[in-house]
Amino acid sequence: MLNKKIQSEINEPSSNAHIHRTDDHISVMPLGGLEQIGANCTLIGYKDSWIMVDLGIAFHDKLGIDVITPDISFPLSLKNKLKGIFITHAHEDHIGAVHYFWSRFNCPVYLTEFSAEVLKQKLKSRTFDPETSRIISVFPRSPILVDEFKVEFISVAHSILGACGLYIQTLGGSLFHTGDWKVDDNPLLGDKTDFERLSEIGNNGGVDCLLCDSTNVLVLEDAGSESDVKNSLDKLITKYKNKRITITCFASNVARIEAICELAQKHNRKVVIIGRSIYRMIDAVTETNYYTKNFKRYIDNIVPDEQGASMSPEQVLMICTGSQGEAKSAMYRLARGENRFIKLGKQDVVLFSSKVIPGNELSIREMQNSLIQMGVNFVTSDFEPDIHVSGHPNKNALRKMYDSLKPKALIPLHGDPVMLHAHKDFAEECGIKNTVFAVSGDIITVHKGDGVLKKLHHRNVVYNALDGKYIIPINSNCLMERTFMSTQGHISISFVIDQYNKLISNTDILIRGVFLTPNLLSTVRKNILSIITNQLAKAEMGESVINGNLRRDLQNDVKQLFSKLCDKKPVINIHVHQIGKTFKNKFSNEEVL
């Protein structure tokens, strides 16, 4: 806890109290969110204390990996020096990894009311009786003191409820971490960006450094308002009045889901929700102050899938997750005809009330092609721009943030390298001279008063992957082998020999992932048998070959064979079984007969 003297120093920025040189800076260490969209995580350090801002996931969809997370090895090494985790909002790329690592951290987690409910639901999905006493719900404009830090949540408009930026103060300087944000003067449900409070900070000396969302720095058009989306959807529902309408959007955009439910009532349609994540978001709302009488009235219009399937098209409006074409998502399954109750056809139109997240272009196009083949019409923001609005700031909004906060320095966050570099250039054009292009693992010092940024050190970080039930490094041997097998194929060879190294069984040869014509397959089998015979002939009579060089020599010869005949280098596993002699297995102390 900050003592009274330290509190007064923070509350009075003009104080001339002497601070030792080693205490006149803050350390910033991004751990994710700088190489791609997602997996956002940043450490903030002062003296010997640290806090973490966000702990999110990124979606992967390769090699059986759906999710990647930041590298948490350094935060774990801090132990009790990590004083708290602060979550800016409840989007997966900011909160999605917290429940995976819940038992690894012992510090409190601070977040707003709606985000807290989302996190509690996530924890319940991982354990029957989650310990939630460390979840601390906070309110905007109500600063909290955590060891050396004074942190104030400040409301920002975004495409989810309860989003906030963080005003972080220490005796060694101040930061503002925007999280995700936009300018929306009519957000329907949720808060506007609190430029009044931001301007107060700017007029009181500003901040030493701004850590800012870079997602839309390349976009010229203003983000638009959720009110615009509601009006656009209203017109489209009228246009397609004789069709069954499916609107696919992000489950976390509760304001849009409420607006769609309101429009369904206006047009005398029942609502069918397809996608469990939407129900989870609605459940989270019911535990907060956002749960109004109107919200309850709108969601009371929801009917089950099977009831909606039996109704005439003009009586139904479906809200569906999976706008990014994610495998196994609700929209993906509808487009493949795999929903148990709902079958799409010529009577349907799908409205994509969403943006294309970079990296998802192919999966979305594949899903839209499937819809066309089913006779389903669809509408995207390419043809109806106001069917979706972004939750991120363009250059005009960024300039407004700069003008309000008056930062002395800027570290671009939340984007890929192209976005971050463009944001750095734009900030310099706007007069912010101290900027830095960071990568995950950089430790950057922000100096109090002048905002000078210095890259002090770089720590190698490796993203983690969720592989089934386990969190493993993205560069693990297991995934490297999986990558190799997926491109080169796999060969398994198994045979039995006696104590004199003579074959006493047929040789089993299993070839997977390598294309071979029937004639070439026959040639490969004959060559493999010849290789085995020749290698066994070289073995010294009576010597066990299980722990010798036989496997290695066989692998080398078979690799050369496939390289010559197929121009492939498959993963090769050799299984040699020798009977009639007892020997020690080199991998254990067990006797093998």
- Mean of per-residue pLDDT scores for the chain: 89
The pLDDT of residue 543 is above 80: no
- Residue 585: the pLDDT is 40
Percent of the chain with pLDDT over 90: 73
CB-based contact 319:257 (threshold 8 Å): yes
Please tell me the distance from the alpha carbon of residue 378 to that of residue 547, in angstroms, as a whole number: 62
**Is the pLDDT at 387 greater than 60, yes or no?**
yes
Q: Is the pLDDT of residue 592 over 80?
A: no
Enumerate residues 6+ apart whose C-beta is below 8 A from 422.
Answer: 214, 217, 218
Residue 547's pLDDT is 53
Rounded to whole angstroms, how far apart are CA atoms 509 and 56? 45
What is the pLDDT at residue 528? 93
The answer on pLDDT for 14 being more than 50 is no
User: Residue 541: what pLDDT?
Assistant: 53
- What is the mean pLDDT of the segment spanning 268-283? 95
Closest among 500, 490, 397, 408 to 449, alpha carbons compared: 408
Which are the contacts of 494, defined by CB distance < 8 A and separation ≥ 6?
507, 508, 510, 574, 575, 576, 577
Strand partners, 28: 44, 444
- The phi and psi torsions of 371 (rounded to 5 degrees) equal -60, -45
Q: Is the pLDDT of residue 191 over 60?
A: yes
Dihedral angle, C-alpha 132, 135, 137, 140, nearest 10 °: -160
pTM of the model: 0.86
Query: For residue 465, what are its two tokens?
Result: 């992957």
- Tell me if residue 167 falls in helix, strand or coil: strand
For residues 240-261, average pLDDT = 96
Give the pLDDT score at 501.
80
Distance CA 456, CA 303 (A): 57
Would you call 538 helix, strand, or coil by DSSP?
helix
Average pLDDT estimate for 557-575: 92
Q: Please give the pLDDT value at position 86.
A: 98
> Pick from 551, 545, 554, 553: which is nearest to 499 by CA?
545
Predicted confidence band of residue 207 (pLDDT cuts 50, 70, 90): very high
What is residue 96's predicted lDDT score, i.e. its pLDDT? 95
Torsion of CA 223, 152, 406, 14, to 10 degrees: 170
Query: In whole angstroms, how far apart are CA 273 and each of 188, 213, 258, 283, 564?
Result: 21, 31, 12, 13, 56
Most confident of 222-226, 366-370, 467-471, 529-533: 366-370
Lowest mean pLDDT among 82-91, 407-416, 574-583: 574-583
pLDDT at 106: 92
- Is the confidence at residue 16, as pLDDT, over 60? no
Q: How far is CA 387 from CA 173, 297, 365, 396, 453, in A?
A: 42, 24, 18, 21, 41
Beta strands in 436-570 (DSSP E): 442-447, 453-458, 464-467, 470-473, 490-497, 508-512
So what's the pLDDT on residue 481? Answer: 85
- Confidence band for 544, pLDDT divided at 50, 70 and 90: low
Give 246's strand partners. Answer: 318, 350
Domains of the chain: 4-11+23-221+390-473 (3.60.15.10), 226-387 (3.40.50.10710), 489-592 (3.10.20.580)
pLDDT at site 326: 87
The CA distance from 153 to 13, in Å, is 19
Give mean pLDDT, residues 449-461.
92
How far, in Å, CA of 501 to CA of 544, rounded? 8
Contact in structure between 87 and 115 (CB atoms under 8 Å) = yes
Evaluate if residue 304 carries a pLDDT over 90: yes
Q: Is the pLDDT of residue 439 over 90?
A: yes
- Residue 234's pLDDT band, with cuts at 50, 70 and 90, is very high
pLDDT tens track for 401-423: 999 999 999 999 999 999 999 99
Residues 381-386 have a mean pLDDT of 90
Contact (CB, 8 A) for 71 and 461: yes
Tell me what pLDDT residue 468 has: 86
Q: Who contacts 312 (Cβ-Cβ below 8 Å, separation ≥6)?
A: none
The predicted-structure confidence for 63-83, as pLDDT tens digits, reads as follows 888 899 999 999 999 999 999
| Residue, of 390 and 484, whose pLDDT is higher | 390
Give yes or no for residue 9 having a pLDDT over 60: no
Q: What is the pLDDT of residue 548?
A: 61
- Residue 6, pLDDT above cutoff 60: no
Share of residues in the chain with pLDDT > 70 (%)? 92
Cβ-based neighbours of 407, under 8 Å, separated by 6 or more: 176, 206, 207, 208, 209, 210, 432, 451
Pick the closest to residue 26 from 201, 177, 144 (CA basis): 177
Average pLDDT over residues 448-477: 91
Whole-angstrom Cα distance, residue 6 to residue 8? 5
Region 46-61 average pLDDT = 93
Question: b vs e for 264-300, b when ≥16 Cβ sit within 10 Å of the residue's Cβ?
Answer: beeeebbbbbbbebbebbbebbeebebeeeebeebbe
pLDDT of residue 586: 40
**So what's the pLDDT on residue 502?**
84
Residue 527 sits at φ, ψ, to 5 deg, of -65, -40
Report how far apart, in Å, the C-alpha atoms of 268 and of each of 159, 237, 241, 388 are. Answer: 27, 11, 10, 23
Per-residue confidence band for 245, with pLDDT thresholds at 50, 70 and 90: very high
Give CA separation, 233 vs 17, 255, 295, 415, 446, in Å.
Answer: 58, 13, 18, 29, 46
Task: Pick the more confident residue, 155 or 17.
Answer: 155
122-171 pLDDT, tens digit per residue, is 998 876 567 789 999 999 999 999 999 999 999 999 999 999 999 999 99
Cα–Cα distance measured from residue 268 to residue 582, given in angstroms and rounded to the nearest whole number: 80
Burial status of residue 521 (CB atoms within 10 A of its CB: 0-12, 13-18, 19 or more): middle
